[in-house]
Amino acid sequence: MATDDQSADRPQIYLITPHSFDPAAFAPQLAQVLDGTEIACLRMALAGDDEDSLARAADACREVAHARDVPLVIDRHIQLVERLGLDGVHLPDGARSIRAARKALGADAILGSFCGASRHDGMNAGEAGSDYVSFGPVGESSLGDGTIAEAELFAWWSQMIELPVVAEGALDVELVAALAPVTDFFAVGPEIWGQDDPLAALRTLLAPLG
């Protein structure tokens, strides 16, 4: 997952699935969102560890995403990436699993690292070979340990570090407007999936981007 020329002016969107969903019902919703807004990457973020359930969900998400040239990564489950035909993995533990994941999945896999609000963890993840780091939550949320990743962290990162950075966790319109100049990606998921029209909710959330 890399930024493109447009990203210098406008952050890209990194879409996160719900933590629980029925694949047959979710696939059309996902397709509508991917058809209605340019999405850079999709993360499958199921909360459970049942491999049959993960496989069914991955099949549905992969079919929709890959038909639209959107890469699909999975939360945590390094061992399922190749088996399920996915593009990479999002790891929740800073730099700790990056080297092992890169060794297991090879140079072409997308590896991302959630680093909470820690500049130090982000730098270590980059040095270990992560393709991007994610900081958050940026608003009031139980993501990570709940410590808010402040705008100053993103501003420092964007000035000092070339590695793409993702802002996630309790995004709202005001946070999107404030962080747009200093982040490469907005990770959006819980903010929209509970709404009657997820695509409309996403468009409203992203209105400050123009």
Q: Which residue has the higher pLDDT, 3 or 37?
A: 37
pLDDT in tens, 12-61: 999 999 999 999 999 999 999 999 999 999 999 999 889 999 999 999 99
DSSP string, 126-174: HHHT-SEEEE--SSS--STTS----HHHHHHHHHH--S-EEEESS--HH
Q: Which of 79, 111, 109, 87 has the alpha carbon at shortest distance from 98?
A: 111
pLDDT at 9: 74
pLDDT in tens, 92-125: 998 999 999 999 999 999 999 999 999 999 999 9
Indicate the fold that domain 11-203 takes in CATH: TIM Barrel (3.20.20)
Give the pLDDT band (50/70/90) at residue 7: very low
pLDDT in tens, 170-205: 999 999 999 999 999 999 999 999 999 999 999 999
Tokens 């940026």 belong to residue? 138
**pTM of the shown model:** 0.94
**C-alpha–C-alpha distance, residues 204 and 185, integer Å:** 17
For CA atoms 121, 133, 148, 143, the dihedral sign is negative
**Do residues 150 and 157 touch, judged by C-beta distance below 8 A?**
no
